[in-house]
Amino acid sequence: MKKKRHVFKFLSLFLALGLVLSACSSTTGGSKNNASKPKENIGNFPLAVKNTKKPVKDGSLTYGEVSDTPFEGTLDYAFYTGQPDFDVMQFFQEPLFATNGDYQFTQDGAATYKMSNNNKTITVKIKKNVNWSDGQPVTAQDYEYSFLVIGNKDYTGVRYGDAIIQSIVGMKDYHEGKAQNISGIKIIDDKTLSITFTDANPSLLTGLWAYAMPKHYLSDVPIKDLGKSDKIHKNAIGFGPYTITKMVPGESVEFTRNDNYWHGKPQLKTIIFKVVNPKVILQSLKKGEVDIANYPTDQYEAAKGSKNFQFVGKVDLAYSYIGFKLGHWDAKNSVNVMDNPKFADKRLRQAMAYALDEKSVGDRLYNGLRFPATGLIPPSFASWYSKDTDPVGYDPKKAKALLDKAGYKDVDGDGFREDPNGKKFVINYLAMSGGDIAEPLAKFYMQCWKNVGLNVQLVDGRLAEFNSFYKMVENDDPKVDIYGGAWGTGTDVDPYGLYGRDVPFNYSHFVSDKNDQLLKQGHSVKAFDHAYRQKTYVEWQKYMNDEMPIIPTLFRSVVTAVNNRVTNFTVDPADVFVWSEVGVSSDTPAAE
């Protein structure tokens, strides 16, 4: 039966491909009639599960980590790299601050904070009853210690690159070994400390490093050995709602209730975390072997209508895009230089965006669970996302008109447009391999561009593997004109880290004075004013949609499958205490 389903999946993929191609090759743009069944819309998914039954006492729940590889087991925020490790940590580690729907700190978490009048100093007060799971109090020294670790020259992780961490007064001297301590961090008493920054940045309140490290437990390990210490691998401790009581490396973890949890006694007695292969997750859910799992959206169709579990979902903090190589990265001066004339005309870039039928891609390849992106800030940032940014929709007529106006005309009658000088115009497109959809997607985009008369070819005639892709993009390989990538935004809305003039991840190398100015305004002291910041980012989204150095293509949804017996579970970003509140209304999971 399993085998059959595979064949079916394969067939449906071809079918989908056929439908898609026909959608884009019709010149009228008609993707209207061939939608045979209603597509999913993430807006229809609830954030919280519906289960009004009373939770049982001392229940147990199984969390399925959907992954085809074991988890690495580096269980500290300063050192971890993989998403599975992050998912393990959510049960026993906790940031000091709770956050609201905009991912901004509130006063409800393990610590409260106060900003100084000039917004350059934050004073953090850890609540009295917050203790590590070994009973020791969480102190100001613990919070300071995490900065001392990350800033240390022997630190082996990747978190020091964060601009906010580097903007702490005295961090640079400490990092270079000129100082023993970070002068900007002052311990006021055992539970209070203040951190002073070189400039006031509203992103502090979302992006500030919010994790304390148990200094009493870790400080006897030299920082250069901390990353490999068992104290952050097998025997990690935290102050979250549960504690690790047992681990089978790479495959499962047993958590037991932390009875001293500061935010009240957690509902469940135990949580089992285990890795489940994506190929069997549906069966595991149906059988009730897994209560909660982030469900792979490409399999959603097969799971729909299951009786014993329900879905919750939201828009992910990520977007897919196609970028234009507009220049190069000057590594010597650490600055982006926009000097590639090939795509200098923004009408060409806009036309290429108008040519893409994203709605069809989302509906047919992703069953509606990915949908056309409207700009460079996803709707998961409720306050900053702008609905009226004049999104670039699918409009092949407009695309053609723009190309005509810009002088890209088919002079020799081969069906493809030549550049304004009458020379052959070929665009080399770098697309990444991975997953079943990568190939049809790239082909589909090329077809869309062909429909408006643009000759787009894959770099080297094939999809590029992940590492080769990034190597070519990072090194500004001259073979690459445009490239299709995706960014996870993290919870900090500030796009500077991806589009600033002096950041290496600005792979398109788009720079302009207006962009500099808007990005600067967005994290200036004035932007502590919510309305001002909102206005700035709306303007920036509009500006980028007009300049179009990056075509935002798709936003994505994340859905979570939850067994019917689970109570109080939610994916609402504003509910940070979800794991201590989750319960089960029956001792045995619902099975199909």
Partner 1 sequence: MLKFILRRILIMIPQLIILSVLIFALAKAMPGDALTGQLASSPKMDAQTLHELKQKLGMLDPPYVQYFRWLKGLLHGDMGMSIIHQTPVTQLLAGRMENTILLSAAVLILSYLIAIPLGIVSGRWTDSWADKMVVGYNYITFATPLFIFALLMLFIFGFVLGWFPTSGSVDIRVENGTFSYFMSKVNHLILPAFSGAIISTTVTIQYLRTEIIDTKIKDFVKTARAKGVSESNVYTRHILRNSFLPIAAFLGYDIVSLIGGSVFLESIYGYPGIGQLFITSIAQRDFSVVTALVMISGLATLVGTLLSDIILSAVDPRIRIE
Interaction of residue 221 with partner 1, rule CB under 8 A: no
**2-25 and 438-451 are packed helices; what angle lies between their axes, rounded to 10 degrees?**
10
Q: State which of residues 102, 439, 502, 547 lies at the interface with partner 1 (CB under 8 A).
A: 502
A 10 A CB-CB count for 427 gives 17
Segment lying near partner 1 (by CB under 8 A), choices 343-351, 382-390, 445-453, 463-471? 463-471
Q: Rule CB under 8 A: which of 271-290 touch partner 1? A: 272, 274-277, 279-280, 283-284, 286-287, 289
d(CA 361, CA 371): 8
User: Residue 475 is which amino acid?
Assistant: N
Helices (H) and strands (E) in the chain, counts: 19, 19
Supply 450's token pair.
């062909």
DSSP secondary structure letter of residue 425: -
| Least separation in angstroms between CB 504 and partner 1 | 5
| Least separation in angstroms between CB 466 and partner 1 | 7
Nearer to partner 1, 268 or 399 (CB): 268
| Least separation in angstroms between CB 530 and partner 1 | 23
| Least separation in angstroms between CB 20 and partner 1 | 27
d(CA 210, CA 97): 7
Segment lying near partner 1 (by CB under 8 A), choices 97-105, 108-116, 443-451, 469-477? 469-477
- Contact present, 354 and 399 (Cβ < 8 Å): yes
d(CA 86, CA 238): 13
d(CA 311, CA 166): 40
Interaction of residue 543 with partner 1, rule CB under 8 A: no
x/- map, 327-356, partner 1, by CB under 8 A: ----x--x----------------------
| Least separation in angstroms between CB 443 and partner 1 | 23
Interaction of residue 81 with partner 1, rule CB under 8 A: yes
Q: State which of residues 43, 101, 420, 488 lies at the interface with partner 1 (CB under 8 A).
A: 488
Q: Which helix (H) or strand (E) holds 309?
A: strand 309-324
Report the half-sphere exposure of 516 (CA within 13 A, side-chain side).
8
Q: Rule CB under 8 A: which of 552-591 touch partner 1? A: none
Nearer to partner 1, 160 or 528 (CB): 160
Supply 425's token pair.
């115009």
Q: Rule CB under 8 A: which of 110-169 touch partner 1? A: 156-163, 166
CA distances, 501 to each of 236, 512, 549 (Å): 39, 8, 13
x/- map, 223-252, partner 1, by CB under 8 A: ----xx----x------------xxxxxxx
Distance of CA 83 to the CA centre of its chain: 10
DSSP secondary structure letter of residue 471: H
Supply 290's token pair.
């897994």
Query: Residues interacting with partner 1, by CB under 8 A?
Result: 1-3, 6, 68-70, 72-74, 79, 81-83, 156-163, 166, 227-228, 233, 246-254, 272, 274-277, 279-280, 283-284, 286-287, 289, 331, 334, 466-468, 470-472, 474, 487-488, 490, 497-498, 502-505
